[in-house]
């Protein structure tokens, strides 16, 4: 379970957001939402989530740019980011990893895959602790 963990969902599409939110709530997570890149940067910086789901096709700045900015900020650089990529957008997946995302899921995403991915990232030790 992931009870009490905070997850930011940067997703402008309501239907996609509702699906991700349902899975996170079921797991006991606190859910933050952003609908634009600017909101995502602000929410990640102030909320310091344990995990971010990042839509790549996001109102500006897009998910790739948001990821790059979070990776270059001392306070957000170690937060795991899982990209949500649209199958039709060639290059999204490679771009997501190059920008610093830890993984990507192709939309439409199944609830089971979201659950597995969430638990995988929330249950593994943070990078700060992994060397001790």
Question: Where does this chain bind Mn ion (CB under 5 A)?
Answer: 12, 55, 57
Q: Within 13 Å of residue 109, how many CA atoms lie on the same side as its CB?
A: 29
Comparing CB distances to Mn ion, the nearer of 57 and 106 is 57
In DSSP notation, 8-71 reads EEE---HHHHHHHHHHHHHTT-EEEEESSHHHHHHHHHHH--SEEEEESS-SSSPHHHHHHHHH
Nearest residue to Mn ion by CB is 57
Residue closer to Mn ion by CB (options 62, 117) is 62
Q: Which is nearer to Mn ion, 11 or 50 (CB)?
A: 11
Q: Quote the least distance from Cβ 131 to Mn ion, whole Å.
A: 36
Q: How far is the CB of 110 from Mn ion (least distance, A)?
A: 18
Closest distance between Mn ion and the C-beta of residue 20, in Å? Answer: 12
Query: How wide is the angle at C-alpha 96 spanned by C-alphas 94 and 98, nearest 5°?
Result: 70
CB of 84 to Mn ion, least distance (A): 8
Q: Supply the DSSP symbol for 127.
A: T
* Of 21 and 57, CB closest to Mn ion: 57
R_g of the chain, CA atoms, integer Å: 13
């Amino acid at each position: 379970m992931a009870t009490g963990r905070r997850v930011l969902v940067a997703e402008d599409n309501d239907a996609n957001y509702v699906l991700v939110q349902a899975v996170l709530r079921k797991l006991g997570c606190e859910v933050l939402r952003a609908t634009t890149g600017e909101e995502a940067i602000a929410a990640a910086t102030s909320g310091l989530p344990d995990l971010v789901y990042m839509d790549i096709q996001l109102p500006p700045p897009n998910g790739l740019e948001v990821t790059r900015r979070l990776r270059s900020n001392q306070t957000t650089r170690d937060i795991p980011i899982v990209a949500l990529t649209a199958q039709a957008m060639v290059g999204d997946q490679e771009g997501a990893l190059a920008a610093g995302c830890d993984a990507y899921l192709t939309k439409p995403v199944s609830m089971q895959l979201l659950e597995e991915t969430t638990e995988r990232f929330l249950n593994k030790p943070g990078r700060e602790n992994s060397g001790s």
